[in-house]
Amino acid sequence: MGLFERYLSLWVALCIVAGVFLGNVIPGTFVFIAGLEFAHVNLVVAVLIWIMIYPMMVQIDLASIKDVGKRPKGLILTLVINWLIKPFTMAALGWLFFKVVFAEWVDPQSANEYIAGMILLGVAPCTAMVFVWSQLTKGDPNYTLVQVSVNDIIMVFAFAPITAFLLGVSDIHVPWGTLLLSVVLYVLLPLVVGAITRKKLEAHVNGGTEGEREGRRLSEFVHRLKPWSMVGLLATVVLLFGFQAETIISQPQTIILIAIPLLIQTYGIFVLAYGAAKVMKLPHNIAAPASLIGTSNFFELAVAVAISLFGLHSGAALATVVGVLVEVPVMLSLVAIANRTRHWFSPA
């Protein structure tokens, strides 16, 4: 394990502090970067995420994807958690905390908007960062790709109906541009480039058997890319916290109130999924990514819909932003848990 990975939590903590500090000292810079977006997808963040997931895409063997169908249990677990459990538990926790536990501290209108923002996060399973979490837990890249791809297909059809049902509104505007652009940027494009890279690596190997040469060349290339992947993650953290630095400083109590049910939801879903994976006797390289997919969120989509439905300065938009802020630190803690409990599961 390299220096970056060994002390990753420390680097992330430092980047959070740096992002908040820089966002308040040079806010104009972050406003400019935040404005570089298309269809609610920030292009700078997109590039950084692309850098993070590219090393994993290089490891995907397209010829082996067909074998995923022989091991359907991990895919079934992901789909059940993402579409039959997570949206409804998120709505229930939002109602419990903002209608009961925090009722004295939050006015009814704000409470409704915070709940709406949480619901939007719950109905939007992650597309991009999943590849990062899978790579950090040494997940099966082929299986992770299939899990994400199936989720994306279901999201096209299920996002609006589930959101409409849980929000109690009938006219949900789904920002298709955000959804489709994100899938292209975070899945299709890096997959194509990764496949091309892999093919070139396989065409320029020598010494040993063919399989050994290909494996050695690929391993060396991915090893060289790993530091850049971590740099991309840390730079993303700085930007995300820099974008919201003013909100963090001006509304710390509100952010804490929203973060509490989000944290309970995230850890609760992970425990449920991870425990189910153990019972189902999934190998760790499928169990860990399957559980992490169910806990992370497609925050670009959630933020875009929140702004569209409730407005830029609404409580719903703020709740989705808080989801962005807690995502990276919390997911890294879950990655650490998954890695430390690897011995609970059978090898691949």
% helix / strand / coil in the chain, to the nearest 5? Answer: 80, 0, 15
Tokens 């509100």 — which residue? 254
Radius of gyration, alpha carbons of the chain: 20
Distance (Å, rounded) from C-alpha 127 to C-alpha 300? 10
- Residues forming beta bridges with residue 41, ordered by sequence position: 38
Q: What is the mean pLDDT of residues 52-58?
A: 80
Judge whether 130 and 273 are in contact, CB under 8 Å: no
Q: How many domains does the chain have?
A: 1
Percent of the chain beyond pLDDT 70? 91
Distance (Å, rounded) from C-alpha 261 to C-alpha 277? 24
> Which of 101-105, 126-130, 215-219, 267-271 has the lowest average pLDDT?
215-219
Judge whether 128 and 178 are in contact, CB under 8 Å: no
CATH number at residue 11: 1.20.1530.20
State the pLDDT at residue 213: 52
If one compares 280 and 171, the residue with the highest pLDDT of the two is 280
Q: How far is CA 172 from the centre of its chain?
A: 23
Question: In this model, does residue 266 exceed pLDDT 50?
Answer: yes
Token digits of residue 197: 């890279």
CB within 8 A of 210, min separation 6: which ones?
Answer: none
If one compares 216 and 263, the residue with the highest pLDDT of the two is 263
State the pLDDT at residue 227: 77
Nearest to 90 by CA among 260, 261, 256: 261
Residue-wise pLDDT tens digits, 77-111:
999 999 999 999 999 999 999 999 999 999 988 89
CB within 8 A of 189, min separation 6: which ones?
Answer: 50
Distance (Å, rounded) from C-alpha 74 to C-alpha 283? 9
What pTM, to 2 d.p., does this model score? 0.81
Question: In this model, does residue 269 exceed pLDDT 80?
Answer: yes
Question: In this model, does residue 279 exceed pLDDT 90?
Answer: yes
First to last CA, the chain: 20
Distance (Å, rounded) from C-alpha 9 to C-alpha 130? 18
State the pLDDT at residue 51: 84
The top-scoring range by mean pLDDT among 52-66, 82-96, 132-146, 295-309 is 82-96
> Which of 16-25, 107-116, 133-142, 204-213 has the lowest average pLDDT?
204-213
Distance (Å, rounded) from C-alpha 179 to C-alpha 320? 16
> Which of 173-182, 248-257, 268-277 has the lowest average pLDDT?
173-182
Distance (Å, rounded) from C-alpha 266 to C-alpha 272? 10
Angle (CA) 347 190 79, round 5°: 50
Q: Tell me the residue range of the domain where 257 lies.
A: 3-344
Distance (Å, rounded) from C-alpha 334 to C-alpha 291? 9
Residue-wise pLDDT tens digits, 292-323:
988 988 877 888 788 777 876 788 888 988 88
Judge whether 149 and 74 are in contact, CB under 8 Å: no
Judge whether 321 and 250 are in contact, CB under 8 Å: no
Distance (Å, rounded) from C-alpha 235 to C-alpha 255? 22
DSSP state of 298: -
Q: Name the phi and psi angles at 172, rounded to 5.
A: -95, 120
pLDDT confidence band for 208 (50 / 70 / 90): very low
Question: In this model, does residue 204 exceed pLDDT 70?
Answer: no
The maximal CA–CA distance of the chain, rounded, in angstroms, is 71
State the pLDDT at residue 232: 85
Q: What is the mean pLDDT of residues 39-54?
A: 83
State the pLDDT at residue 172: 59
